[in-house]
Amino acid sequence: MVINSSIRYQRERLTIDDIDLESIVNEVGTPAYVYSLARIRDNFSCLNAALAPVHARLHFSVKANGNLDVLRTLKEVGAGFDCVSGGEIFRALNAGAAAKDIVFAGVGKTCSEIEYAVGRGVGWINAENLGELAHIDAIAAEADRQSVKVALRLNPQVTANTHPYMATGHGAAKFGLTSDVIRQNLNAPERYPRLDMTGIHMHVGSQLGDSKSTLAALDKLLALARDFPQIKTINLGGGLPVAYHLGETPPSLAPLAAELARRLNPYTVLLEPGRSLVADAGVLVADVLYVKRQAGQTFVIVDASMAELIRPALYGAHHEIMPLRKTNGETVTTQVVGPVCESADVLARDRDLPPLAPGDKIALMMAGAYGMTMASNYNARPRPPEVVVDGGRWWVSRRRETIEDMLIVEASFRRS
C-alpha cells in the first residue's frame, strides 16, 4: 500500500524511503518524529512546477517545520524563508539561508526583533501596523541603513473557507491593515524616509478549502496596487491545502496557477508555503502502552500526546493512524489517547483501527507540518527527537530532550 512517494507498506511493514520505521524507533525510542528529506525536495519541485506560470519565488514558512536539516534541504533546492520571530530568523540563518532570502512577518514584532532583522539585512519586512513602520524607520536610521524593503500586509476583509483559528483575512482578524490605511501611507512616503514600501503582502488563511478567498483578496489587493506604480512585488502568503484523509487528493493547482498568472503578470510574486511542502513528509511514531475497555469504548493509550502533536486537540484535526506492522484483523472503533491530564488529549476519536495491543507501534501521518513546532513540555514531557531520512540512511537530527534539559534554565535547579 503506497501512501506517497516516500511512505508505503512493504512486506507489511511501514517504510519511509525504503527504511523500516520500526528499525528507526527501535534505536531512538518513541514518541519520535521522522521526516523524509526526499519527499520535501519532491514537494518543492512539484509546487515550483505547478506554479511555473506565475514565476513565484517560494519562501518556506518556518513555523510549519523549523528543523535545521529540513531548512537546509529547502535552502539547497532554492527556497527562501518566511520567518515570524527573531528565533525563526536565527534558525533560518543557522541553516545557511542568506538574510536577503528571508521575509519577516508577524503582527507584533518587538523592537529587538526588528533590530536583529534590519541588522542582519533580511530581504523584506511584512508590516502590519503603523507603530511598526515608525519603529522600522527609526531602527534603519540608527543602523545607518538607507532603505529597508517593506511590504504592507493587507487585511482584505475576506473570510477564508477553513478552520476559524486558521482564517486570517476577515475584517475582525488582528492581522494586516485595511486598504484605506495602506493607501494613506503609500501616499505619504516622506513619513518613513528609510522605508522602501514597494510590496504588498496578504495571507488569508491556512489549509484553505478552496481558492475563492485567495482570488477575492487578490482582486482587492490589485485594485490597491494599480493606484501605486511603485508597488512591484506581491506576496500572496501561504495556505495551500494538503489531504489529511487517506484516499483524498488535494485539488490540482493548475486552475489557481492560471488565474494567478493572468492577474499577476507585471509583478514579482512571492509565496509563503508551509504545510504543503512538509506535512506529508513526516510521521510521529508512538508506542501503545495500554488498551482499556471501559464504558463501551476501546481506549488505546499511547506514549504520544497533545504535547507532541496538538493539532487534534486544538483544531479537531484528523491524522490517519497506521500501525507500523500491517494487520488484517477486523477493525475496532477505537479512541487513541495520550497520557496527558486533559480530556482534550485524544489523538483520534472513534477511529476504525485493527486491534492494537501493548507494544504495537503506530504512525500518526501528515505530521511533518505544525507537529514538532507546536510541541510543548506540558506535563513536563521532554520533546521528542526528530529523525531525518535521506539517501538510504537516517540520523537523529534533533535528539530527544531529557528531563534535565527542561530544568536547566531554572535558577534553582540542583544537579544531583
Subset of 27-56 contacting ligand LLP (CB under 6 A): none
Q: Considering only 3-11, 37-45, 61-69, 224-232, which stretch makes contact with ligand LLP by CB under 6 A? A: 61-69
Q: Which amino acid, residue 256?
A: L
- Please identify, using beta-carbon distances, which residue of 14 and 84 lies nearer to ligand LLP: 84
Decide: is 109 part of the binding site for ligand LLP (CB under 6 A). Answer: no
Decide: is 284 part of the binding site for ligand LLP (CB under 6 A). Answer: no
Q: Considering only 30-38, 111-119, 255-263, 268-276, which stretch makes contact with ligand LLP by CB under 6 A? A: 268-276
Decide: is 64 part of the binding site for ligand LLP (CB under 6 A). Answer: yes
Cα–Cα distance measured from residue 268 to residue 392, given in angstroms and rounded to the nearest whole number: 38
Contact 246, 341 (CB under 8 A): no
Answer yes or no: 341 catalytic: yes
Decide: is 60 part of the binding site for ligand LLP (CB under 6 A). Answer: no
Q: Which amino acid, residue 87?
A: G
Cα–Cα distance measured from residue 61 to residue 277, given in angstroms and rounded to the nearest whole number: 9
Cα–Cα distance measured from residue 28 to residue 395, given in angstroms and rounded to the nearest whole number: 10
Which one, of 375, 119, 172, 95, lies nearest residue 104 by Cα? Answer: 119
Decide: is 173 part of the binding site for ligand LLP (CB under 6 A). Answer: no
User: Please, what is the minimum distance in Å from the beta carbon of residue 275 to ligand LLP?
Assistant: 4
Instruction: Please state whether 324 falls in left (phi above 0), alpha (psi between -120 and 50) or beta.
Output: alpha
Q: Which amino acid, residue 196?
A: D
Cα–Cα distance measured from residue 363 to residue 243, given in angstroms and rounded to the nearest whole number: 16
Q: Report the residue from 86, 123, 169, 274 that binds ligand LLP according to the rule CB under 6 A.
A: 274
Q: Report the residue from 105, 133, 139, 221 that binds ligand LLP according to the rule CB under 6 A.
A: 105
Cell numbers standing for residue 49: 512546477
- Please identify, using beta-carbon distances, which residue of 36 and 276 lies nearer to ligand LLP: 276
DSSP 100: G
DSSP bridge partners of 297: 294
Decide: is 66 part of the binding site for ligand LLP (CB under 6 A). Answer: no
Q: Considering only 34-42, 67-75, 231-239, 356-364, which stretch makes contact with ligand LLP by CB under 6 A? A: 231-239
User: Please, what is the minimum distance in Å from the beta carbon of residue 329 to ligand LLP?
Assistant: 32
Decide: is 237 part of the binding site for ligand LLP (CB under 6 A). Answer: yes
Q: How many residues bind ligand LLP (CB under 6 A)?
A: 20
Q: Considering only 10-18, 212-220, 274-282, 382-390, which stretch makes contact with ligand LLP by CB under 6 A? A: 274-282
Bond prior to 31 in cis (omega within 30° of 0): yes
Contact 224, 182 (CB under 8 A): yes
Burial label for 131, CB within 10 Å (0-12, 13-18, 19+), is exposed
Positions marked catalytic? 341
Report the interface residues with ligand LLP, using CB under 6 A: 61, 63-64, 82, 105, 166, 203, 206-207, 237-240, 272-276, 311, 370
